[in-house]
Amino acid sequence: MNNQEFANKNIECSVTNCVHHCTNGDYCALKRISVGTHGNKSDTSDCRSFECKPKNC
């Protein structure tokens, strides 16, 4: 799938090893994402919608 067709220009993302990353730009292909704290640290957050590309995990 070419995620560039589905680029959500409202969600910038530079995580290229995510399956939702657009192929030709730093955008996410999802309509919305979930962001939350990372483990027990309330000062660190991450994208909970992240899914690692099979070749990069």
Residue with more model confidence, 57 or 47: 47
Rg (CA), the chain: 12
Predicted confidence (pLDDT) per residue in 8-44, tens digit: 999 999 999 999 999 889 999 999 999 998 777 677 8
- According to the model, what pLDDT value does residue 24 have? 85
Distance CA 50, CA 8 (A): 15
Contact 47, 34 (CB under 8 A): yes
pTM, two decimals, is 0.79
Q: How many CB atoms lie within 10 A of CB 22?
A: 21
Report how far residue 30's alpha carbon sits from residue 53's, in angstroms, rounded to the nearest whole number. Answer: 15
pLDDT of residue 56: 76
